[in-house]
Structure 1
Amino acid sequence: MKKILFVFLFVGLVSASQAQDRIAIGLKAGFNSTKINLSDIPSGETIKNEAKGGFLFGAYGKLKLIGGLSFQPELYYAKKQTQYSFTDNGTTTVTTSDIKSWDVPLLANLKLVDLKVAHIYGVAGPVASFISKDDLKSLKDANWTFQAGLGAQVWKLSADVRYEWGMKDISKAQFGQKTDVLTVTIGYRLFGL
């Protein structure tokens, strides 16, 4: 049994070392600004939403496909905040909502400019978001969004700016709510590419 495990371990290490020119794994962290776009608000009510800051941290992988094109899956934990102002019959109530989620972007990464010591890239793709905590308890458990943005990589460090559009209504309430999120992240490549 030990010999079989040793053989699997050896084959795995050899495969990983040979694939380092095609794959990369790294860590990332950053800040976000979240706003909820509202629709179908009942008549007689006024609801406004303001963007608030949050954070994210997690990991990413990168698999080189062809030329400057790579597949970049990510997994990160995000805290998103937003503030609502409800006005009903002249009375205004302000509520801040904390949304904590596990986000899984499935991105295409395209190298746009290669300067040897650095390169500029674009990313785009869908994001599956799974709510782990919602203070108002008014959101669906899962949500789909779309992300697009630009970034730069120097040595093992990367930085990017992305915008995320809500593709589906995230609310269980009687009015529509879709997320808009601006994200700024810094990444550190642990190994590969």
Structure 2
Amino acid sequence: MKKLFLLSALVVMMLGVNAQNRLELGLKTGFNSTKLKLDYNNVDKNLVKDEAKNGFLFGAYGKIKLFGDVSFQPEIYYAKKQAGLTIEGVNYGGDIKTWDVPLLVNLQLLDLKVARIYGLAGPVASFISKDDLNDLKTSNWTFQAGGGISIWKLTADVRYEWGLSDISDLKTFDIGQKTNVLTFTLGYRLFGI
């Protein structure tokens, strides 16, 4: 929880930097589809079943214009992710509730006057707030990349998130567990550029 507080404080401080005509702040919500990426080292693939499961997220984002069409876009959101994992007929799946802090670079690709198309990418720090699974680490890192469109005060984007580190120290099976998440979000700009 201390790490989450420190990251949140850092994001707020960065948002205060030279805000005039360079800062945007908004809210976002959406849904995700999570699937575990497994490494089958010592387990027969036929004994393992992993399924994509749906969840949701809500939070806030900021955007700080750096130069030209490049902006820094920190976010913080609460996400419910679900893991569907069955090994040798035993269900190891369940809900994972996290606080995610994406630190993204936003590049405006096309300005059509009524709409702007952008791409974004960057690392995500993820902190477990509660889970139904056993042996989960309290934090892990992922990487997001995607794109979206901005019209008036609304944004819509789609992103894919690759797990960079295992989320579990599951000792029973040596299968590795990284999260792969497909996310769809809608945002509303409260103020700014």
Correspondence for 1:68: 69
Give the count of matched residue pairs: 173
CA shift at 1:85, angstroms? 1.7
Taking structure 2 as the reference length, what is the TM-score of the superposition?
Answer: 0.85
Runs of 4+ in 1 over 4 A off after TM superposition: none
Please list the CA deviations of residues 106-134 of structure 1 after superposition, one character each: whole Å capped at 9, or x if unmatched. Answer: 00000000011110000000000000111
Correspondence for 1:180: 180
Please list the CA deviations of residues 126-168 of structure 1 after superposition, one character each: whole Å capped at 9, or x if unmatched. Answer: 0000001111122100000000001000010000000000011
CA shift at 1:42, angstroms? 3.1
The answer as to 2:169 corresponding to 1:163 is no
Correspondence for 1:58: 59
Please list the CA deviations of residues 3-41 of structure 1 after superposition, one character each: whole Å capped at 9, or x if unmatched. Answer: xxxxxxxxxxxxx7x834100100000000000011145
| 1:160 alignment partner AA | D
Secondary structure of the 1:19 match is coil
CA shift at 1:65, angstroms? 0.4
| 2:67 alignment partner AA | I
CA shift at 1:95, angstroms? 4.4
Cα separation, partners in 2 of 1:93 and 1:70, compared to 1, 3 Å: same
Unaligned runs of 5+ in 2: 1-15
Percent identity of the aligned residues? 64
Cα separation, partners in 2 of 1:192 and 1:44, compared to 1, 3 Å: closer
Unaligned runs of 5+ in 1: 1-15
The structure with the largest strand share of the pair is 1
Taking structure 1 as the reference length, what is the TM-score of the superposition?
Answer: 0.85
The answer as to 2:46 corresponding to 1:49 is no
Cα separation, partners in 2 of 1:81 and 1:165, compared to 1, 3 Å: same
Larger Cα Rg: Structure 1 or Structure 2? Answer: 1
Cα RMSD after superposing both structures? 1.6
